[in-house]
Structure 1
Amino acid sequence: MKGVIAAGDAQTAAAGEEILKRGGNAADAAIAAVFASFIAESVMTNIGGGGLAIVGDVERDKAEVYDFFVDMPSGEITPKIDFHEVTSDYSPAQDSLYIGRGSVAVPGLVAGLSALADEHGTLPLKTLLEPAIRMAREGVTLSAPQEYVFEFLLPIYEDTPEINAMYKKRDGSAWCAGEKNTFPGLAENLDQLAEEGPLSFSQGSIARAILADQKAHGGLITESDLANYKIRRLEPIRISYHETELLFPAMPSTGGGLIAFTLKLLESVDLAQMAHLGVDHIQALAEAMRLTNIARPLWEASASSEQERIGRLLGDKNIQLYRQKLDTILSGESPPSEPLFPREPDHTTHISVVDEAGNFVGVTTTAGESAGFVVDGTGICMNNMLGEADLEPQGFHTLAPGARLTTMMSPTLLLQDGKPRMVLGSGGSSRLRAAILQAVSNVIDFGMPLEKAVHLPRMYFGAGILHLEGGIPEKRAQGLEELGYKVNRWPDLNMYFGGTHAVAFENGHWVAVGDRRRGGAGIEVE
C-alpha cells in the first residue's frame, strides 16, 4: 500500500491519491489535496485563507505543528474601507457577518504549503499543483453537502458581479449538486504559482494583483504584510489518555488545548462501562464540555510563554480541581452556569494522510465564509476572517498589525508505542472539538473501528443546549430532559456536528474514512 488519504470531497482525495501513486510522500499528497480543495471544496476553503498542520517525518523521528493561519493587516482604516454586513439564512436561524476587502486578513496558505513542500516533500511544487490546475480547467462536481452550504451563503456569492459570475451558470441559475463548474481564472493563477514559485503570492505577480485590488477597493493589506508574513513551527501539546499519547496544536489553535482538557477530565470517568450514547455517557460528555467552556478563559488569557499557558490549563492541580467538579455534577449537584462565546467560522475542511513509510500529515484550512469578491484580474477569492466577531473579541479591526488571529481548528495525532495510529481533524466551528473528541473516545474507550467511530451519531453541548444527532433513541432524549437538559433533537446526521476526516491503523493495515456529513471520502492507495 502506497498510503491512505481522507478528505472533505472525493475529488480532493483523488488529487492526493494521484500524487501517492506518482511516488510522492504524505506531505506531497496532502499539499496537492489542499490545493485541489480550493476548487473541489471552494465553499469551504480557498487559496486566500489560512491553516494549521501537524506533520510527522519518519527520518527525523519528529512531529511538529505548522502554523500558517492569518494575520492582522497593517493598512490604515479610513471611511472608504470596504467592510459591510450580509445576512445568511441558515434556516430557521439567520446569521450576520461582514465581508468585503476590509474583511480580509493576511493569508498564509501558500506560504505554509510551500514550506511543507520544501521541508517535508519529495516532489516539486509545480508537480503538486498539477491536479488542482487540471481540475480548475476541466471542472469539478458540486456535492450535496457543499450545495447545502452554498445555498445559505448565497448572499456572499451574489455580493459582487465577479464572484456571482464565478458561481452562477450562464442562464443566471445557481451551481447545483451534481453539476460541473470550471475555474479558468484560478487555473491561470495556479499556473503562475507553479512557474514563479511561492514568491509570486508574497512579492510577485499575484501579490501585486492582490495589493492593487486592496488599494482600489478599500482593503487593509499592504506590501509589507504579504512580503513579511512568517509561518511558525511549533511544538505540539502532548497528553496521555488511557495509555494513548495524543498530540494537538497549541496557540493560535484554541481548539487543541480545549480538546486536550476535555479528554483529561473524562479520563477519570469510566466511559467504557457505559452504554454508548446512553444517558450516562451523554451526560458525562456534556458536563465535561460545559466545564471546558468554564475553564476556557484560562487557556485564552495572555501568557509569557506557551509552557505557562499549557501548564495553567493542563497542569495536574487544575485538572484535579475540574475532575472534582465533574464528579460532583455527575453525582447530582447542579452544574454551574456556562459562559457564552461568539459563533466561530464554520466553513473549514481537513485532510489526513499517511504514506507507506509512516510519514503523516493532518492539515485543516479555512477562509471563513469568503469575502464576497474576486481579486481584480484574477480568479482568486479571499478570506473574511476580519468579519468574524469571535476572532476579534475587542471589536472589529482592533488587533495590532501583524497579530496572528486564533482559530478553533485542531489537526490531531494519536500515538501508540511511539508510532502514529490515527490522524484526524474536523471542520465545524466550536463543534469540531466535540467531533474530534468523540471520534477519539469511540476508538480508545469503546474499541470501535474507524468507520463506526466517525459515523455513529454525535452529541454537542453548548450555550445551554444539548444537541442530539439523528439516530439517538428518543427514550434517551427524554431521560436527559428529566435530568434538566434542554434538548434539541436533529432528525438525521448533519454537518452541524462537524466533518471528521481520519486515517487509522487497525487490524494490521491503514484505513481511511471521510465523514459523510460533509461529503468526505477516504482512499486506500495500492
Structure 2
Amino acid sequence: MNRSLSLVTVFLSVVLLTSSCRKPVSLREGQGVYQYDSEKSRTGSDRFFSNKPGVIASSGMVASAHPEASRVGVDILKAGGNAVDAAVAVQFALAVVYPVAGNIGGGGFMVYRDKAGTAYTLDFREKAPAKAHKDMYLDAAGNVVPDLSTLGHLAVGVPGSVDGMVEAHRRFGKLPWTQLLQPAIDLAEKGFALTTIQAAGLTSTLPLIRQVNPGKTYFQKADTTAWQPGEQLVQKDLGAVLRRIQAQGRAGFYEGETARLLVAEMQRGRGLITDEDLKNYRSAWREPIVAPYKNYRIITMPPTSSGGVALVQLMRLMEPLPIRRWGWNTDSTVQVMIEAERRVYADRAKFLGDPDFVKMPVDQLTSRDYLTSRWADFSYAKATDSRQVKGGMIPGYESMETTHFSVVDKDGNAVSITTTLNGGYGSKVVVGGAGFLLNNEMDDFSVKPGVPNMFGLIGNQANAIAPGKRMLSSMTPTIVEKEGKLYMVVGTPGGSTIITSVFQTIMNVLEHGMTMQESVNALKFHHQWLPDKTTFESGAFSEQTLQYLQSRGYTLERLTNSLGRMDCIMVRPDGTLEGASDPRSDNTSMGY
C-alpha cells in the first residue's frame, strides 16, 4: 500500500536532487509493516537462526571460530597480555584446531584500535610467486583450465600469516613471543577433540586431500575410517614447525628447515613458490579507511581488501534512507540494500586491486556525491538488471573458507582479524614433513577478465595476476566507534558474502536496535552484482517481502546452508563486553 511522503523523506529527496546533476532516486516509505521486537526475538522466532545468548564479561573478551582458540586467547589476556598478544596466540591456535581455515599457510588482515583511539591496519595477504603470470591458468585457446587455480600446488600464493603475526607482535606486543606460541604447540603435540562439525568436514574432504597428497597420511586415521566427534587429532609435524617459529620468529618459517620443506613440496607438485619468494615476503602496514556514519565512526581495512571500501559505500548509500522507520528486513529495506550491493560489487570488479600495483580512486568511490549518482538508475518499481550496471564513472581514473576473530582487552585495545586459506582446507596441499595446509588464494586474482572465480566474483585488469602482487580479497575486519569510544569489533568468513554479512550485522545494531548477539543470530541475505540473484537464508524474509520482491523482478534463491560465521564484540552502555559468536557453527565467545 502506498503512503504519502513524509516531510523527512521529501527533505532527503531534495538533498539528493541538489547534490547530483543526474536524476535522483525518489525516496518513499516502505511497504512492509514488520518491526523488529527484541523481546520477541529472544524466543528464537521472527527470522533468527537461533536464540543463542551473548557472553558478558567485564575485563576482556575473545570471539573466535573454535572454543579451544578462544580459551587460549582469554588465558593470554588473564596472564597480562594485551589484545595483540591474544590475537597472535589465537591465530596460531586456530592453525592447529581449525584446519579448514585457521592457518600458517595462508594470509589475512588486521584492524587494530588502541585504547587512545588510534587505528592501524596490517595487510598480511598472500602474494603471487615471482614466476606467476596473468595467463597461467589458461589453455592454448585462452580458456580457463578447471580446478587449476583452486586445487593443488599451482593454486598456492606465498603465505603471509606468520610474517603478519611477527610484525603485529613486534610493534604492539607485550608478552614474550615464546609464551604466545606455547598454547598452539601444546594443542598440536598433545591433540584436541574434534567437534561434530569438524569430524564431518574432515571426513568429507579426505578424498581430495588423498588425491592431492599421495603417500601422505595427514588428517587421516590409521585405520582409515571416518572421523568421529570427540576423537583426538594430533599433529606432531605441525608442532615441530611451531617450535621453530617459537624459537626463531619469522626465520622459523620463511627460512631454514620449514622453508626447505615448503619449497620441496612445491617442486614435488610443480608449484611456483621458491626460497626467494619466501625470503622476500613482507606484510604491509596500510592507512586504515576511517569514515563517519551518522554519530558513529567506521574503521576498516583498505585494499588489498575490497571489504572496507565496499562496506563504507554500502553504509553511505543507506545513510539518507529511513530504513529504521521502514523496519528490519521489510520489503523496501531489503530492496534498497540489494540495489546498493549490486552497484558496490560492480565497482569492486572495475576498480579494486593491490595498491602497490594499481591506482585506485578510493576517496572518490566512498564520496557521498559519487554514491548519490549511483542511485540515478534505480526505481522501486522493478529490479535493476545487473547486465546494465557497470562500475561507476570517475573522472581522471585510468583504467569460501575463511575465519575471523575479535579481541578486546581490559584497557580497551581492540583487534579485528580475518584470515584465510581461501577455499575450505585451501589447495588441499599439505606440506610434507611439516603437516600444514597451503592456501589456494591464486583463485582470488582475476584469472581471466570477466570469468568468475570460485565465489562467482567477476574481476578485471585491476586484479590481474602479476609477480609479487597481492590478490584482491573480500575480508572485512572492522571496528566501530560510537561518539568517539570503542563500540563494536566485527568480522566474518564467507568468501564473497563477507562484505554483505558484515554490513547487515552492523546495520542491525545501528539502525534496528539489536544486541550484538541478536544481530549475529539474525538471518541474512546476499547480492553481488553477478550472478544477478539474491540468495537468502531460509526464513530471512516474510512472505510479504518475498511477494514484493518477486513482483518487481528480483531473482531469489533460498539457501540450503547458511551465510556467515560472525565473531563479534560490543561494548555495552555499562562498559561490560558482549561477545557474540555465530550459532551456525562451533564459534565461541569467552571472557573474564
Same-fold call, TM cutoff 0.5: yes
Q: Quick one: which amino acid aligns to residue 487 of structure 1? A: L
Q: Which shifted more, 244-253 or 280-289?
A: 280-289
- For 2:92, the equivalent position in structure 1 comes to 35
Relative to the length of structure 2, the TM-score reads: 0.79
1:336 is aligned to 2:385: yes
Question: Is the Cα–Cα contact under 8 Å of residues 65 and 587 in structure 2 kept in the other structure?
Answer: yes
Q: Quick one: which amino acid aligns to residue 392 of structure 1? A: V
Q: Which shifted more, 164-173 or 22-31?
A: 164-173
- For 1:488, the equivalent position in structure 2 comes to 557
The alignment partner of 1:64 has SS state of strand
- For 2:76, the equivalent position in structure 1 comes to 19
Q: In 1, distance between residues paired with 2:385 and 2:212?
A: 46
- For 1:441, the equivalent position in structure 2 comes to 507
Q: Which shifted more, 299-308 or 430-439?
A: 299-308
Q: 1:117 to 1:162 in 2, by over 3 A?
A: farther
- For 2:373, the equivalent position in structure 1 comes to 321
**Structure 1 residue 390 displacement after superposition:** 4.7
Match of 1:453 among 509, 513, 519: 519
- For 1:282, the equivalent position in structure 2 comes to 334
Q: 1:173 to 1:13 in 2, by over 3 A?
A: same
**Structure 1 residue 475 displacement after superposition:** 4.0
**Structure 1 residue 333 displacement after superposition:** 5.1
Unpaired runs of 5+ residues, structure 1, are: 85-93
Matches within 5 A, 1:351-430: 351-369=405-423, 370-386=426-442, 388=443, 390-394=445-449, 399-430=465-496
Relative to the length of structure 1, the TM-score reads: 0.88
Q: In 2, distance between residues paired with 1:147 and 1:241?
A: 42
When Rg is computed on C-alpha atoms for both structures, the one with the higher figure is 2
**Structure 1 residue 8 displacement after superposition:** 1.0
Q: How many residues are matched?
A: 501
Q: In 2, distance between residues paired with 1:304 and 1:209?
A: 30
The alignment partner of 2:329 has SS state of coil
Deviation per CA, 1:238-271, whole angstroms, max 9, x where unpaired?
Answer: 2222221101111100121111111110112111
Q: Quick one: which amino acid aligns to residue 478 of structure 2? A: T
Q: In 2, distance between residues paired with 1:448 and 1:51?
A: 29
Q: In 1, distance between residues paired with 2:198 and 2:500?
A: 21
- For 2:533, the equivalent position in structure 1 comes to 465
Q: Which shifted more, 137-146 or 499-508?
A: 137-146
Question: Is the Cα–Cα contact under 8 Å of residues 156 and 371 in structure 1 kept in the other structure?
Answer: no
**Structure 1 residue 301 displacement after superposition:** 6.8
Question: Is the Cα–Cα contact under 8 Å of residues 488 and 569 in structure 2 kept in the other structure?
Answer: yes
Q: 1:398 to 1:295 in 2, by over 3 A?
A: closer
Q: In 2, distance between residues paired with 1:214 and 1:423?
A: 37
- RMSD, aligned α-carbons: 2.9
**Structure 1 residue 134 displacement after superposition:** 1.1
- For 2:306, the equivalent position in structure 1 comes to 254
Q: Quick one: which amino acid aligns to residue 67 of structure 1? A: D
The alignment partner of 1:15 has SS state of helix
Q: 1:449 to 1:163 in 2, by over 3 A?
A: farther
The alignment partner of 1:157 has SS state of helix
Q: Quick one: which amino acid aligns to residue 86 of structure 2? A: A
Deviation per CA, 1:419-466, whole angstroms, max 9, x where unpaired?
Answer: 221111110011111110011001100111101011011111242222
The alignment partner of 1:158 has SS state of helix
Q: 1:56 to 1:406 in 2, by over 3 A?
A: same
Q: Which shifted more, 298-307 or 200-209?
A: 298-307
Question: Is the Cα–Cα contact under 8 Å of residues 469 and 489 in structure 1 kept in the other structure?
Answer: yes
Q: In 1, distance between residues paired with 2:334 and 2:588?
A: 28
Q: Which shifted more, 348-357 or 141-150?
A: 141-150
1:45 is aligned to 2:94: no
Q: In 1, distance between residues paired with 2:90 and 2:354?
A: 35
Q: In 2, distance between residues paired with 1:158 and 1:204?
A: 27
Q: In 2, distance between residues paired with 1:458 and 1:234?
A: 31
Q: In 2, distance between residues paired with 1:108 and 1:517?
A: 28
Q: Quick one: which amino acid aligns to residue 21 of structure 1? A: K
Structure with more of its chain in strand, by fraction: 1
Q: Quick one: which amino acid aligns to residue 591 of structure 2? A: E
**Structure 1 residue 393 displacement after superposition:** 3.9
- For 2:65, the equivalent position in structure 1 comes to 8
Structure with more of its chain in helix, by fraction: 1
Q: In 1, distance between residues paired with 2:511 and 2:239?
A: 46
Q: Quick one: which amino acid aligns to residue 504 of structure 1? A: M
**Structure 1 residue 340 displacement after superposition:** 10
Q: Quick one: which amino acid aligns to residue 521 of structure 1? A: T
